[in-house]
């Protein structure tokens, strides 16, 4: 019988900071804790020094941090090295699983080396999530230099790890191309709790309650987008696309999320005389997000930076057809003409045409939605937990064999 493990996760973007990597890490850490493993997370905090909390049955070490220069809603912990010895002494992990290559993860990797503790890493990083906030244009030499610097710092850390995982095939190819030399890069989906999203209702919020709370009209085709409202998510493309078809179809568009682009997007909706069709919810509870999926008809995303796409997976698990840009890993989830439609990134006209096709065809929406439910089954969250457990036990076993061989 396998023993329980002590697993330390390290990440620079962890809730309450809103990010796909943080959401995924929290879900996986919580899922493994529910399987009786002892799990801890080391992440930034807005506190001074090191604070140890119990959050959702997880031990969470929050380290002193400062706002990111390019993205002030995010925090980095440049003082992580100062606290890592204390964290390791307190928690005594069997394995460390880093989720990025920044200060906390690098400090944890170096501390693990001292104790011969295995370290694996999952990459959620892409410079495209950070550089747009610098306002440096993509075609400038400086942008390319910074992009290369970001990738070089990533490669330096991840090439030293025992094992590397990524959430999609696209993510595997991109890190190979930037210099990861590992013979095997393991693709492990972020996973999705199918039972949670398949339930007819979550919590005490009835359909009528959700409709009334967010002023959603019952008779209109309901479109939904769930994301951070930041430049790289390109919600502006969706608003412009819907403006092209506002006189051809009766719809409403729910925009779930918060971010620096919210004010600009609200202005854009007014500029195109479509603000009466768009509902900006802001940051809302997970239960409300799930219940909004359940009363929606089509999921939309124009995001250009997705190494998998958690909100797309949630929408698919909720039985929705998807209209999405054909960016990065998105075509691994959205099969054009099967469970939705793809359009070329930034192509407003094509996006509007695809959206209109689904708005006008309820039977097609139902067919694509059923296909979404079938396609997403291979991303069952329990499979993700199984894969990571298998990886952890194998790496720990190999480490112990090597240590034993060294002693003899």
Give me the pLDDT at residue 205, please.
59
pLDDT in tens, 269-300: 999 999 999 999 999 998 899 999 999 999 99
Return the CATH number of the domain spanning residue range 195-378: 3.40.50.2000
Residue showing tokens 């509902």: 279
Segment among 67-71, 265-269, 301-305, 383-387 with least mean pLDDT: 67-71
Q: How far is CA 392 from the centre of its chain?
A: 22
pLDDT in tens, 313-371: 999 999 999 999 999 999 999 999 999 999 999 999 999 999 999 999 999 999 999 99
| Four-residue CA torsion sign, 152, 108, 189, 256 | negative
Band (pLDDT 50/70/90 cuts) for residue 400 is confident
Asked if residue 278 lies in contact with residue 246, where contact means CB atoms within 8 angstroms, the answer is no
Asked if residue 36 lies in contact with residue 389, where contact means CB atoms within 8 angstroms, the answer is no
Return the CATH number of the domain spanning residue range 6-191+380-407: 3.40.50.2000
Asked if residue 327 lies in contact with residue 386, where contact means CB atoms within 8 angstroms, the answer is no
Give me the pLDDT at residue 401, please.
86
pLDDT in tens, 26-62: 999 999 999 999 999 999 998 889 999 999 889 999 9
**Fold match between domain 6-191+380-407 and domain 195-378:** yes
Give me the pLDDT at residue 93, please.
97
Give me the pLDDT at residue 200, please.
56
Distance (Å, whole) CA 312 – CA 379:
12
Tell me: pLDDT of 396 over 50.
yes
pLDDT in tens, 147-180: 899 999 999 999 999 999 999 999 999 999 999 9
- pTM comes to 0.92
Give me the pLDDT at residue 183, please.
81
* Domain ranges for the chain: 6-191+380-407, 195-378
Q: What string of H, E and C letters represents the secondary structure of the chain?
A: CCCCCEEEEECCCCCCCCCHHHHHHHHHHHHHHHCCCEEEEEEECCCCCEEEEEECCEEEEEECCEECCCCCCCEECCCHHHHHHHHHHHHCCCEEEECCCCHHHHHHHHHHHHHCCCEEEECCCCHHHCHHHHCCCCCCHHHHHHHHHHHHHHHHHHCCCCEEEECCHHHHHHHHHHCCCCCCEEECCCCECHHHHHCCCCCCCCHHHHHHHCCCCCCCEEEEEECCCCHHHCHHHHHHHHHHCCCCCCEEEEEEECCCCHHHHHHHHHHCCCHHHEEEEECCCHHHHHHHHHCCCEEEECCCCCCCCHHHHHHHHCCCCEEEECCCCHHHCCCECCCEEEECCCCHHHHHHHHHHHHCCHHHHHHHHHHHHHHHHHHEHHHHHHHHHHHHHHHHHHHHHHHHHHHC
Tell me: pLDDT of 262 over 80.
yes
Q: Report the percentage of the chain scoring pLDDT > 70.
A: 96
Give me the pLDDT at residue 1, please.
41
The end-to-end CA distance of the chain, in Å, is: 27
Cβ within 8 Å of residue 281, ≥6 positions away: 214, 254, 255, 256, 257, 288, 292
């Amino acid at each position: 019988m396998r023993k329980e493990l002590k697993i330390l996760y390290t990440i620079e973007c962890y809730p309450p900071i809103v990010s796909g990597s943080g959401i995924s890490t929290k879900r996986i850490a919580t899922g493994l804790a529910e399987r009786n493993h002892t799990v801890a997370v080391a992440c930034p905090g807005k506190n001074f020094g090191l604070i140890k909390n119990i959050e959702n049955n997880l031990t969470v070490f929050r380290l002193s941090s400062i706002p990111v220069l390019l993205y002030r809603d995010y925090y980095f912990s440049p003082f992580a090295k100062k606290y890592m010895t204390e964290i390791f002494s307190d928690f005594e992990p069997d394995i460390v699983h880093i989720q990025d290559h920044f200060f906390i993860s690098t400090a944890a990797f170096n501390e693990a080396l001292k104790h011969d503790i295995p370290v694996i890493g999952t990459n959620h990083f892409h410079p495209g999530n950070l550089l747009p906030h610098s306002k440096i244009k993509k075609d400038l030499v400086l942008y390319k230099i910074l992009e290369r610097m970001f990738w070089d710092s990533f490669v330096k850390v991840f090439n030293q790890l025992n094992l590397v995982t990524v959430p999609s095939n696209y993510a595997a190819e991109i890190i190979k191309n930037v210099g990861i030399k590992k013979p095997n890069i393991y693709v492990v989906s972020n996973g999705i709790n199918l039972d949670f999203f398949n339930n007819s209702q979550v919590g005490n919020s009835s359909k009528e309650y959700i409709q009334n709370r967010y002023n959603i009209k019952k008779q209109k085709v309901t479109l939904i987008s769930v994301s951070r409202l930041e430049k790289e998510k390109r919600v502006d493309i969706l608003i412009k696309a819907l403006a092209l078809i506002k006189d051809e179809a009766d719809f409403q568009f729910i925009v779930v999320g918060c971010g620096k682009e919210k004010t600009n997007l609200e202005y854009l909706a007014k500029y195109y005389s479509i603000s009466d069709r768009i509902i900006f919810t802001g940051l809302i509870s997970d239960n409300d997000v799930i219940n909004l999926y359940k009363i929606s008809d089509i999921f939309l995303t124009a995001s250009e930076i997705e190494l998998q796409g958690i909100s797309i997976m949630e929408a698919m698990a909720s039985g929705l057809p998807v209209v999405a840009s054909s960016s990065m890993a998105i075509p691994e989830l959205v099969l054009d003409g099967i469970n939705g439609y793809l359009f070329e990134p930034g192509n407003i006209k094509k996006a509007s045409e695809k959206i209109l096709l689904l708005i006008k065809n309820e039977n097609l929406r139902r067919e694509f939605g059923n296909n979404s439910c079938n396609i997403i089954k291979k991303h069952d969250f329990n499979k993700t937990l199984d894969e990571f457990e298998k990886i952890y036990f194998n790496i720990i076993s190999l480490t112990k064999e090597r240590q034993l061989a060294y002693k003899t």
